[in-house]
Structure 1
Amino acid sequence: MDLLKELWWVIPIFLLIAGGLFTVNQGTIGVVTRLGKYHSIKMPGLNFKVPFLDQLYKRVSIQNRSVELEFQAVTVDQANVYFKSMLLYSVLNIDEDTIKNVAFKFISEKDLMQALIRTVEGSIRAFVSTKKQAEVLNVRRDIVENVKEQVDVQLESWGYHLQDLQINDITFDEAIITSMSKVVASNNLKAAAENEGQALLITKTKAAEAEGNAIKIAAEAERQAAQLRGQGVALFREEVAKGMSQAAEQMKQANLDTNVILFSMWTEAIKNFAEYGKGNVIFLDGSSEGMEKTMRQIMAMQQMDGKKI
């Protein structure tokens, strides 16, 4: 008890020191003021501030933060465009000047959000106002790049950096959407008609080429067949002539009349007519004068073939 009475003064000092201890969470930076004026920044972990003089003014988050935006813009041809986007930003760095700027630039987080949203919306509206309604859907990347280029400079003066801007949805008024759908449908019908026409043209062209090739092949086959038939007839006549010459020579050697050969050929022809006529009616002159006339004609043909040979 005597010892406690002697060390009573240690207890207030311990409480005073304990009251000056505080922690800063990971992902945040502590900003300390002394008598209402900026004094220092404190890193994550256990820190100490002078009791009654220092105050933990704010914990500044250095983590990435996001905010969703929904707003309207008007194109140069007076079409309403509705945007839905996501903005990702963070503190520029953990330098003392940057953290000091972030801590004291805006009164509250709400004021920062309002300024940030209005800055991004204003930049997008200014860009869209120079484009036509038909161009907006094709310049999504240009909008993002333009906003990053302009807004990032402003954010850096506040101690922040624009990490990413995503435009998730771009829509128009119902009347514009309906008209755009009709344009797309008509373009699709036009493309379909052109494709169908090209397909039909290709089909007919290929069919014509096939038919032409078939005609060429048939004509070539007919030409070759006619050539072969002609060669066959020529060979037949040549063989007939040779046979008749040999037969006539043998008849002469036997002192017989060569007209017997022609008569035999005539009777063989009549026999052939009867066998292969297939019911056709053939009129022949059976008189002696008719036979003599026919024999003279055969002899004349024989003489002509002999001259050709």
Structure 2
Amino acid sequence: MFSSTIIIVLLIIIVVVVLSSFVTVQQGTIAVTTVFGKYQRVLFPGLNFKIPVIEKVYKRISIQNRSVELEFQAITIDQANVYFKAMLLYSVLNNQEETIKNVAFKFVDERSFMQALIRTIEGSIRGFVATKKQAEVLSLRRDITEHVKEQIDRGLEEWGYHLQDLQMNDITFDEAIMRSMAQVVASNNLKAAAENEGQALLITKTKAAEAEGNAIKIAAEAERQAAQLRGQGVALFREEVAKGMTMAAREMQQADLDTSVILFSMWTEAIKNFAENSKGNVIFLDGSSEGMDHTMKQLIAMNKLQQNNTGTGR
């Protein structure tokens, strides 16, 4: 019975030793083993064999992306308080053995690493903001991110990590500064609105002036053409009158009649036309014998001039 007990104990020991010879590493994780406290090797995801009893898993390291939120304060060169809320995204640099060793042994634990990482980032941002004015900070969001990456990437690589992204989710100031900034924005918006309204009014006035100028040009051109047509009509009228007078004078000469009668008839017709179409009530005519004599002399002179012109035309 004693021998059977020994056999059972031995079997249990063997089973325990065999089971402890295998270790499972989850996907996205790398295990680091030590022998008597000294680094031995890394174990990759899946089922791995290790030396029983003496080889132990020292640490399991996640190679997946990790994020952390930051909240801290900085002071600008003009002594304005700036409050930051940021999101940090980082991961293990790669799964190479030297990188994994750095991650496993550079810091005592994960808490010490996170404290060093956060303080490094905060110090980098505070140093950058300290050289800028309060009015510049909001427009330098991207520059702050690039500055932090340049400053801490090399240090993180020595620790075995890589900074993938740093997002400035919120940048605020003291309440008094926020109110003054809101007033500045409001006044700038009013100024821009006034400028836009002025530009719109200027465009409207310009277009109206252009339209009025075009209308004046069109009216002037129409008046010019109308005047030209009126002139042509008067010329045609005079030409027809001259032709009629010429024909009447010829007929009267053939009949041995005094052609001055034609002029006298035209003069009386003109007076008749004045009386019918004039808007006035009185027509002043020189009815004296001297006046009539003067008028007849003028008509006879015009008749002779017409006969001379007719003779020249022949």
Q: TM-score, normalised by structure 2?
A: 0.87
RMSD value, Cα: 2.7
Listed one character per residue, the Cα deviations across residues 245-302 of structure 1 (whole Å, up to 9, x for unaligned) are 2211110111112122223323433443344346744344567665544433444455
Describe the shift of the 1:150–1:5 C-alpha distance in structure 2 as closer, same or farther (beyond 3 A).
same
Shift, 1:62, TM fit? 0.6
Deviation of 1:191 after TM superposition, in Å, equals 2.1
**Residue pair 2:260, 2:303 contacting (<8 A) in 1 also:** no
In structure 1, the residue matched to 2:49 is: 48
Change (3 A) 1:248 1:69: same
Code of the aligned partner of 1:85: A
Contact 1:241 1:302 in 2 (8 A): no
Checking the alignment, whether the CA contact within 8 Å between 2:20 and 2:53 is kept in structure 1 is no
1:273-288 maps to which residues of 2 (within 5 A)?
A: 273-277=274-278, 280-284=281-285
Distance 1:306 1:105 in 2: 134
Contact 2:260–2:299 (8 Å) recurs in 1: no
Match of 1:265 in 2: 266
Kindly indicate whether the alpha-carbon contact (under 8 Å) linking 2:63 and 2:91 is maintained by their aligned counterparts in 1. Answer: yes
1:223 aligns with 2:224: yes
Deviates more, 1:234-243 or 1:165-174: 234-243
Number of residue pairs aligned between Structure 1 and Structure 2: 307
Unaligned segments of structure 1, at least 5 residues: none
In 2: Cα distance, 1:187 partner to 1:288 partner: 91
1:250 maps to which residue?
251
Alignment of 1:148-297 (within 5 A): 148-277=149-278, 280-284=281-285, 291-297=292-298
Match of 2:58 in 1: 57
The alignment-based identity, stated in percent, is: 73
- Distance in 1 separating the partners of 2:206 and 2:279: 46
- Checking the alignment, whether the CA contact within 8 Å between 1:241 and 1:306 is kept in structure 2 is no
Deviates more, 1:279-288 or 1:89-98: 279-288
**Cα displacement (A) at 1:177:** 1.4
Q: Give the corresponding residue for 1:89.
A: 90
Q: TM-score normalised to the size of structure 1? A: 0.88
Q: Which moved more, 1:298-307 or 1:137-146?
A: 298-307
Distance in structure 2 (CA, Å) of the matches to 1:194 and 1:234: 59
Q: Which deviates further from its counterpart, 195-204 or 51-60? A: 195-204
User: Would the alpha carbon gap of residues 135 and 297 (structure 1) be closer, same or farther in structure 2, given more than 3 Å must change?
Assistant: same
Per-residue deviation at 1:170? 1.2
CA contact (8 A) 2:75 2:81 kept: yes
Which whole-Å CA distance do the structure 2 matches of 1:208 and 1:307 have between them? 57
Partners of 1:155 and 1:170 in 2: CA distance: 25
